[in-house]
Each structure stands twice: as C-alpha cells, then as structure tokens.
Amino acid sequence: MSNLSGHILNKTAVKGEEGIWVFSAHIPSFPVKEHLQENGGAGNLLRYISKRLLYMLMSLFLIVTATFFLMRAAPGGPFSSEKQVPPEIEKNLNEYYGLDRPWYIQYVDYLVSVAKWDFGPSFKYKGQTVNDLINEGFPVSFFLGMESLFIAISVGILLGIIAALNHNKWQDYGAMVFAVLGISVPSFIMASVLQYFLAIKLGWFPVARWESLQHTVLPALALAATPTAFIARLTRSSMLEVLSNDYIRTAKAKGLSRRQITVKHAIRNAILPVVTYLGPLSAQILTGSFVIEKIFGIPGLGSHFVTSITNRDYTTIMGVTVFYSILLLLSVLLVDIAYGFIDPRIKLAGGKKGE
C-alpha cells in the first residue's frame, strides 16, 4: 500500500487524477468521473440521481445474492460447537430459524426480509434482533466516525496545505514524516501507544470503553491517524500541481496576496481528490473499525461485522453487509453530487457547457 501511495510523495508533479486512481485501487469506489461524463446528455440533477439510485438497487441485489450464497457455502453452521447439540435440538433450531427449508425458499425469504428492512433474530444474541444490533451499534460507530472524520479532514488538509506552500522546506518534510508514520503504523499499534502514554502515563484519558466524551478522544485519534495522513499527502500533491498552473501565475501577476491565491484559487481545486477519497472513507469509518472497537471496548457496529462471520450468525452477516453496502453506495453518490458544488466545471447533467 505504501509503495503505491509513495507515488504521490514523488516530487515530480503527479496529476491529481492519477492520485485518485492510485487510491481507487485499494478503496472500493466507482470510476467517478467517467460516470459523470457518461451522463453528459440531456437531463437534470434529479434524473441523474434517480438513475444512480436504480444502479444502487441493482448493486445491492447482487451484493445480497453473493453474500447469501458465499455464506451458505462456508462449512460449519451457527450451532457448531465442541459440545455438539443433540440432533433433536438441532432439528428444532433449524426449524425455528427456517434453515431446514430448501435454499431457494430461504433465498426468497431473505430478499423479502431485506426489502422490508427486517433482518430477523440474531443467532448469537438470543432475544435481540439484527435490527436491534444495527440500531444500537451504528449510532456509536457513527459518532466515533464523525469525530475521526472531523479530525482527519481538518488536520489532514491543514498539514497538506502547509506542506505544499512550504515545498521542500522543513515544514514540508515534517508534515510528510508525520504522514508516513500515520500510514505505516497500523492502527492497533497507534491505539496501544496512545493508551500507554495518554491514559496510563499521563492519566488524561481513560484507557478504554465508551462512557463520556473523554472516552471518545483516544479511539477517535487512533482511528483518524491513517486517513489524516492520506488526506495530508493527497492535499499536498494536488496543491503542488495546482500551484504550478497558469492561472495561479496569472493571479500572482495580478498582485493578489498569497493568502487570497491560496484560499480562493488553489485550495478549491486542490480539494477535489480529497473529496473523492472521502466517499469510501466515510462509509468505512462510519460503520466502525473492528480493530479500534475491539481495543477500546466500544459497542459499535464494526465488531459485529467480523464476529458475525466467525459465529456463522447468518442473519447478522446479511444485515450488517446490506447496511454497510447501502452506506458505501450512498456516500459515493453524495461525493459525486458534491463535485458539482465544489467544481462548477464538472456538470452532473445539463448539456455541453462543461469543460
């Protein structure tokens, strides 16, 4: 991963667009721009969105289907244990959960329940439904995710801009050393380091758990580290590219102050790759990180995503996967729409006036 993104650090101007593609390689994302240009025909924003929603439904259907069959193909079942359940009890269980019916009936049942947004009872937590798990887990992951996103975006962009404006000076190197650390140090190590210094040695924050605002600081920092670094590097490289453009030279020639050039002309264009990155990033961050949630004992959604698979908790696997997919698809859509606002040259729809 760091090899690929090392590209961007390269001083030879890397095109912002290439930057996007480098990232697209490891972050599930739509080929956004292509998509937009295909849509260059007549129409309006509404039409564009409805078309995209239709695609989303189709993707969702494919995801549900693939998950369903992959899940059933995996050996073992939700009641596998070293202490085998007597066959009679297992029969009752299978009947109750509908696992004794033929696969096509189960599959249709499943599609219907997804459409109704009722994922059924969890296998692993008796008395709780998958909807309960999502409703209780998601707000926690969402809060933590927003906090880290806020840190990542503000610190990342700031660092990137400082680095670009002070190209090849100590500020640049300092920010990029920080960024390399952020990317290469895995989050579980970052989490342990933060716990050790800020909680145990300095006693500023509690070691773990999810009780007060104070409890949220360390996990948010740990979760934000990698995206902050990514954003910093993205911003820096695209800023550098933008700053070498002719119109910036024009602006300089006009006698605009450096501040005005940066704020009004450079950042706005340089921010585009960051926005692209934000789509998948926010879906990923908002649904919770398994590692961070585990280390800090946070009751979020991320842990269900992983543990439900080892538990063969079929209903939870499906519910969480569908939920995550919807979030991912939606955030990509939102990013595409946001393009139009940030860069008027990109027209979502509406004639050939665009670039």
Partner 1 sequence: MKKRSFMLLSFMLALSLFLSACGGFQKNNESAGEKGNKAADVPQELHVNIKTEPFSLNPGLANDSVSANVLYQTFEGLTRIKDGKPQLAMAESYEVSKDLKTYTFKLRDAKWSNGDPVTAQDFEYAWKWALDPKNQSQYAYQLYYVKNGQAFNEGKAKAEDVGVKAIDEKTLQVTLENPTPYFLELTAFYTYFPVNSKIAQKNPKWYANAGPDYTSNGPFKMTSWEHNNKIVLEKNENYWDAKNVKLTKIDMVMVNDNNTELSMFNNGELDWAGMPTGQLPTDSLPQLKKEGKLHIQPIASVYMFKFNTEKAPLNNVNIRKALAYAIDRKAIVENVTKGEQIPAMAVVPPTMFPENKKGYFKDNDVKKAKEYLQKGLQELGLKDVKDLPPITLSYNTDDAHAKIAQAVQDMWKKNLGIEVKLENAEWAVYIEKLHSGDYQIGRMGWSGDFNDPINFLELFRDKEGGNNDTNWENPKYKQLLIDSQKETDPEKRKELLKQAEAILMDEMPIAPVYFYTNTWVQKDNLKGVEVSGLGDVQFKWAYFE
Residues that bind partner 1 (CB under 8 A): 74-77, 79-89, 92-93, 96, 124-128, 132-133, 136-137, 143, 146-147, 150, 192, 195-196, 199-200, 203, 206-213, 215-216, 268, 294-297, 299, 303, 310-312, 338, 341-342
- For the chain, count helices (H), then strands (E): 17, 0
- Using the Cα atoms of residue 42, residue 45, residue 47 and residue 53 in order, give the sign of their dihedral: positive
In degrees rounded to 5, what are phi and psi of residue 14? -100, 135
| Separation CA 190–CA 197 (nearest Å) | 11
Rounded least distance, CB 140 to partner 1, Å = 8
Phi, psi angle pair for 180, to nearest 5°: -60, -40
Structure tokens at 351: 């004639």
Buried/exposed code over 93-111 (b: 16+ C-beta within 10 A; e: otherwise): beeebebeeeeeebbeebe
The nearer residue to partner 1, 8 or 138, going by C-beta atoms, is 138
Give the nearest distance from C-beta 298 to partner 1 in angstroms.
Answer: 8
- CA of residue 251 relative to chain centroid, distance: 36
Closest to partner 1 by CB, 21 vs 79, is 79
Are the C-beta atoms of 298 and 219 separated by less than 8 Å?
yes
Instruction: Find the shortest distance in angstroms from Cβ 321 to partner 1.
Output: 18
**CB 278, min distance to partner 1, A:** 12
Instruction: Report d(CA 78, CA 343) in Å as an integer.
Output: 50
CA-to-CA distance for 309 and 306, rounded, in angstroms?
Answer: 6
Nearer to partner 1, 150 or 173 (CB): 150
Pick 102 or 203: Cβ nearer partner 1: 203
CB of 305 to partner 1, least distance (A): 13
CB of residue 18 to partner 1, shortest distance in Å: 26
Report the distance separating Cα 92 and Cα 98, nearest Å: 10
- Please, which residue, 41 or 76, has the CB nearer to partner 1? 76
Nearer to partner 1, 129 or 166 (CB): 129
Residue 77 CA to residue 260 CA, distance in Å, equals 62
Rounded to whole angstroms, how far apart are CA atoms 141 and 132?
14
Contact between residue 159 and residue 182 where contact means Cβ atoms under 8 Å apart: no
175 versus 261: smaller Cβ distance to partner 1? 261
C-beta closer to partner 1: residue 39 or 307: 307
Q: Which of 328, 293, 303 is nearest to 134 (CA)?
A: 303
In single-letter form, the type of residue at position 150 comes to F
Least distance (Å) between residue 93 CB and partner 1: 5
Radius of gyration of the chain measured on its C-alpha atoms = 24
Residue closer to partner 1 by CB (options 54, 118) is 118
Least spacing, CB of residue 214 vs partner 1, in Å: 9
Give least dist CB 221 to partner 1, A. Answer: 15
